[in-house]
Amino acid sequence: MTEFLSVDGGRIAYEVTGEGPLVVLAHGMGDSRDAYRFVAPRLVAAGYRVAATDLRGAGESGTGFTGFSRTDIAGDLVALIRHLGGPAVLVGHSISGGAATIAAATAPELISAIVELAPFTRKQSIALADLRVRRFRQGMSRLLGAGLFGSVKQWLSYLDVAYPGPRPADWAGQLARIEAKLREPGRMKALRKMGQSTPADAGAHLGGVRCPALIVEGTLDPDWADPRAEGEAIVAAMPAGLATLALVEGAGHYPHTQFPDQVVALMLPFLAAAVRA
């Protein structure tokens, strides 16, 4: 059942299932909480209370917000965790991975651990050698097309690269849901503003994280020429001994949707340790 929480500038949608320690799931741009449709039931079955939220401007959340940075998203996530009676383990994908970094550093009393899936949490730079990687060139060109022209078609084309295979059994339905949602007034505008935001705000907080962190990267993620190197750089920027990097072989930018069993298998021992602590 969808519930709503009023935050600064609008309201965000979320749903809660299960009983036990709280885990909050935040999706990436251009998506909705439906991105965790395979992960959430597995976590509930493992004994967790799972709250999946729609980011501002996405899913069933409002579109009237003025800011769509990682800092803005982090504020919403902290408000939701406080409302639900945290602390919580915060799971963030892509732009929400950066938001999770900020939330953990600025509200440590509410965040017991973070899981970042293919996170954009550092300022990016592109080297000439990166452009020799075909999947990276394809992904970046399609992302640019979506961002510059507000093209839903280009976004769906990007997803074709971001899911290198295997794809979910409901792939056609997933694309139809995403397209329908992005064609609603204000949704593509929110995506574009998220895409135009810089991860520098999240990068500035990496050294301030004080809770355990699990970084998960897909080896075929088109958003980076070298996903392993990106993950290693995030781990290195956090205080020594806090963060762990895990790679999902064959996954693109959405490891939790492509390989939910593998991702949950990585998460469960991490969550158990966080809860014990």
**pTM, 2 dp:** 0.95
- Helix (H/G/I), strand (E/B), else coil: 99: helix
Of the pLDDT bands very low, low, confident and very high (cuts 50, 70, 90), residue 275 is confident
| CATH architecture entry for 3-276 | 3-Layer(aba) Sandwich (3.40)
What confidence score (pLDDT) does residue 30 get? 95
The contacts of residue 134 (CB under 8 Å, 6+ apart) are none
**Dihedral (C-alpha) 192, 206, 48, 57: value to the nearest 10 degrees?**
-20
The percent of residues in the chain predicted with pLDDT above 90, rounded, is 87
CB atoms within 10 A of CB 185: 7
Residue 231 buriedness (CB in 10 A; 0-12 / 13-18 / 19+): buried
- Ramachandran angles phi, psi of 218, nearest 5°: -85, 135
- Chain centroid to Cα 104, Å, comes to 14
- Helix (H/G/I), strand (E/B), else coil: 169: coil
Q: Going by DSSP bridges, is the β-strand pair 49-53/10-17 parallel, antiparallel, or unpaired? A: antiparallel
Q: Is the pLDDT of residue 86 over 90?
A: no
**Contact status, residue 45 vs residue 23, Cβ threshold 8 Å:** no
Q: What is the pLDDT of residues 91-113, one digit of tens each?
A: 999 999 999 999 999 999 999 99
What confidence score (pLDDT) does residue 277 get? 65
The whole-angstrom separation of Cα 190 and Cα 181 is 12
Of the pLDDT bands very low, low, confident and very high (cuts 50, 70, 90), residue 147 is confident
Domain ranges (residues) in the chain: 3-276
Mean pLDDT over the full length of the chain:
95
Q: Going by DSSP bridges, is the β-strand pair 111-117/213-218 parallel, antiparallel, or unpaired? A: parallel
